[in-house]
Amino acid sequence: MNPNIQKRRFAAAVAALSLLLSLLSAGAYAAPSSYLSAYFGIEFGGESVSGGDYAEALLKLQPAHGLKELALDNPEEALGALDAIKYAVIGANMNELAMVYSVEKIDSVLAAAGAGGIDPAYAPYVACALDLGMITPAVAATANGDGPAGADFIVGLLMAAADINGVSRNYLGYSNDPDIYAKFINAFEAFELFDDPVLSAVGSEAVMRQVTTGYNLKSDKHDARFLPEFTLTYGHSNIKHAAQILGLLQSEGVVARVQFEPKVSIYQYLPEWGEPGEPTPTYAVRTINDDLMLAYATEYDMVLEFADRADMEKLDGLIVNYAKRNSGEEGKPILAGSWWQPLYYSRAEMDGDYFMIYDNIITNGSFSLHPFCLAEERANVLEKFLAIDPDLDIVQSPIWSNAAFHRYLNGISE
């Protein structure tokens, strides 16, 4: 590649990185150590990291098809920067890619980064790490330095390996990306009803026994894997509404990572609603017995990971003001498809107008069933589910929901 083109590429990358860091310098977006701890149990106590601890951490970041073992020559010694980069590339399952780099390509990449004098044994790994975005040119230019690599540097490499391996955050993009609307809409339109017979049997029995009036069915294949302390989940069924929520965030200067988690909302279908009509790929009414029909409808959870708690806390006021129906305000402009009782919640404790409720998570393989209940009903709901099947894998997880949905669980219409 032309060195001038390579230089322009790196200059653009550095500028973009600088802008991103200036915008997102706190909270969820600048805390890879918190993420590695929360999802993989990776924590380092000192200022440096031993080769053995590093190898162990990289093995925790492997996808199903990834490395099964990884040994460093000197596991007790603190890692230097070049070794850290080399094994990060290997841990990202990119070893073979690094090995096909020609000498000319390596020299071009390193020269453009201002990284001279790299030991030939490490040079292909440094060049590959640069091209993959695992390190910056500034890092490459100083990688030859003596002494151990700092723990923060190691954490950054581990996070980069996790991203490349596809085991970290799973998301469509940022709420202010120009194409985020198309991505979200396309994801929704590709979604059709899915089912899990085991969980459906439990859920329909729970509705018959009046343990719950409805529940959601989800698959962990779409799990956002965001940091809970900066994340809100917004549930809805109208895709136009989702696009307008994202536009509202952008208009208010709020940026969040966005993931689409499809779900099937299952609830009792009442006879007074009339004949249900023919099923479609996204909606069906199924007769369980003479006394019970269940509606299966495609919906979504829009999962939003904010840069900090301040931005996260803004969502409640935005929804209350612009995305909630209220009696006596029929002429008030609100977002398309707004509900009387919108639903959004956090799995981390929230201050303000939020209330603790429980998500009763029943899991079977990659699928999970989610009926919500009030905190004071938790013990009773657990007892009734275990009466259906004492061997159920059920976890009662506290979540903090918005006030409107808390009122809905209390039987209040708005």
Tens-digit pLDDT string for the chain (414 aa): 454 444 444 443 433 333 344 334 446 666 799 999 999 999 998 889 999 999 999 999 999 999 999 988 889 999 999 999 999 999 999 999 999 999 999 999 999 999 989 999 999 999 999 999 999 999 999 998 778 999 999 999 999 999 999 999 999 999 999 999 999 999 999 999 999 999 999 999 999 999 999 999 999 999 999 999 999 999 999 999 999 999 999 999 999 999 999 999 999 999 999 999 899 999 999 999 998 999 999 999 999 999 999 999 999 999 999 999 999 998 899 999 999 999 999 999 999 999 999 999 999 999 999 999 999 999 999 999 999 999 998 999 999 999 999 999 999 988
- Measured CA to CA, the distance from residue 248 to residue 241 in angstroms comes to 10
Contact call for residues 393 and 386 (beta carbons, < 8 A): no
The pLDDT assigned to 3 comes to 46
- Measured CA to CA, the distance from residue 157 to residue 140 in angstroms comes to 12
Residue type, 27: G
Distances (CA, A) of 56 to 49, 70, 157: 11, 8, 14
Largest Cα span, the chain: 79
Non-local (6+) Cβ contacts of 62 within 8 A are 68, 91, 93, 165, 167
Place of tokens 């699928």: 367
Distances (CA, A) of 359 to 180, 303, 375: 29, 16, 10
- N-term to C-term CA, the chain: 62
Contact call for residues 312 and 345 (beta carbons, < 8 A): no
Question: What tokens appear for 338 in the block?
Answer: 């707004």
Q: What are phi and psi of 171, to 5 degrees?
A: -150, 160
- Domain extents for the chain? 3-165, 173-409
- Measured CA to CA, the distance from residue 10 to residue 16 in angstroms comes to 10
The closest alpha carbon to 293, from 207, 391, 380, 389, belongs to: 207
Contact call for residues 233 and 301 (beta carbons, < 8 A): yes
The pLDDT assigned to 30 comes to 60
The pLDDT assigned to 27 comes to 65
Question: What tokens appear for 314 in the block?
Answer: 């803004």
- Measured CA to CA, the distance from residue 276 to residue 293 in angstroms comes to 10
The pLDDT assigned to 19 comes to 34
Contact call for residues 215 and 369 (beta carbons, < 8 A): yes
Non-local (6+) Cβ contacts of 199 within 8 A are 217, 362, 364, 367, 368, 369
Non-local (6+) Cβ contacts of 116 within 8 A are 110
Beta pairing class for 367-370 and 256-268: unpaired
Residue type, 129: A
- Measured CA to CA, the distance from residue 160 to residue 210 in angstroms comes to 48
- Measured CA to CA, the distance from residue 58 to residue 52 in angstroms comes to 10
- Residues in the chain, total: 414
